[in-house]
Amino acid sequence: MSDTAPAAPLVRARGLRAAYRSQRGSDVVAVDDVSLELSGGQVLGIAGESGSGKSTLAAVLSLTARPPLSVLGGELTIDGEQLDLSGGRRPPRTWRGSVVSLLPQGAMNSLSATTRVGDLAVDVVRAHRGRVRRADALDLLTDRLDALDLPRRVVDSYPHQLSGGMRQRVVTVLSTLLDPKLLIADEPTSALDVSTQRALTELLRELLHRGLVGGIVFVTHDLPVLRAVADRIAIMYAGQLVEVGDTAGLIDDPRHPYTAALLASVLVPEPQIRTRRVGGIAGAPPDLAAPPTGCRFHPRCSLATDVCAEQSPPLLGTIGAGYSTCWWRAEHPDEPLEARL
Ligand SMILES: Nc1ncnc2c1ncn2[C@@H]1O[C@H](COP(=O)(O)OP(=O)(O)OP(=O)(O)O)[C@@H](O)[C@H]1O
């Protein structure tokens, strides 16, 4: 291999597909042909409106999909180890926690109220490493708290004795105790105020910096948070990624009309509306049981032409370097979208 060959990405996902089976027997395909890459030491943000499939993608990537959600296909490679997700194949148990770990939505409120943080840590370590002495598991926790400048007192605390922000940091520490190569954080900051949001994003950055976590996928509807924490952003719409790019480039010069509309609706400078939920785009996201033909965004897109309703848009760029999927952009490679919307 030449010295200039690009390093293999830490995470490489290709063609991920997952569906919820409804009681009527029909499928809602909530993740449809999603491919992405993440380099070691980086945060990849996944943003999009409510219902776009972000949490479903988080479940697929973290290997935690459970009925009624099933993974229909795709391939996931983490740090050179490849998993074929087709045909309902079950991932190896050893992957969960140590190769990939999920910080699920609302995790800080799901901690057992009657179990001290130290005991939770013992459970986490034993669940993955078998018979581990209690003292060793507690040492692991205190070392981690010291390394991350968090107070040792939390070891003997019950979750309700901690503030919301501290509880979320503790749950983050617990879900990364086994040094996962990939951490999937699903809306980790959504219940926090701005200063505790910052403390959490700093903690995630510190985990990366110290190599305690290989890479992070950060799912949120909150683009201002992603602007602060993510190296790259992927924009999800109706179960698909419509644009992926480095954070500054994507925000300064969005390539997809949906990205531009999303940014226009949330990235306003006034602090009082900084955390406003996405809501400024005319129309509503489609029903994923019957998504629109062609480009799924075309019914809401002011730049749509006939082809957008008829054919899937081309992928402009590469999965590794970044891309957008848009017929208008294919015809107007250099035109800023701001002027058109
Ligand atoms: N248990 C379920 N059964 C059937 N459909 C579901 C189920 N959970 C989610 N869905 C559907 O899957 C789609 C994607 O949902 P998902 O929760 O992944 O979106 P999201 O982008 O994470 O939204 P939010 O930001 O509101 O959490 C939606 O259309 C939703 O209605």
Distance, CA of 124 to CA of 267 (rounded, Å) = 38
Q: Is the CB of 20 under 6 A from ligand 1?
A: yes
Residue among 260, 101, 84 at smallest CA distance from 181: 101
Q: Is the CB of 232 under 6 A from ligand 1?
A: no
Whether residue 183 contacts residue 21, with contact meaning beta carbons closer than 8 Å, is answered with no
Whether residue 285 contacts residue 237, with contact meaning beta carbons closer than 8 Å, is answered with yes
Compute the distance from residue 282 Cα to the ligand 1 centre, in Å: 20
Burial string for 2-16 (b: 16+ CB within 10 Å, else e) reads: eeeeeeebbbbbbeb
Helix (H), strand (E) at residue 259: helix 257-266
pLDDT in tens, the chain (341 residues): 445 566 789 999 999 999 998 777 778 999 999 999 999 999 999 999 999 999 999 999 999 999 999 999 999 999 999 999 887 677 787 787 789 999 988 877 888 889 999 999 999 999 888 888 999 999 999 999 999 999 999 999 999 999 988 999 999 999 999 999 999 999 988 878 888 889 999 999 999 999 999 999 999 988 989 999 999 999 999 999 999 999 999 999 999 999 999 998 875 544 443 443 444 678 889 999 999 999 999 999 999 999 999 999 999 999 999 999 999 999 999 999 876 66
Q: Is the CB of 53 under 6 A from ligand 1?
A: yes
Q: List the domains of the chain with CATH numbers.
A: 11-111+179-290 (3.40.50.300)
Is the ipTM higher than 0.90? The answer is yes
Compute the distance from residue 30 Cα to the ligand 1 centre, in Å: 7
Each residue's pLDDT tens digit, 294-318? 999 999 999 999 999 999 999 999 9
**CA distance readout (Å), 252 to 10, 70, 90, 335:** 27, 37, 41, 13
Q: Is the peptide bond before 68 cis (omega within 30 degrees of 0)?
A: yes
Q: Is the CB of 56 under 6 A from ligand 1?
A: yes
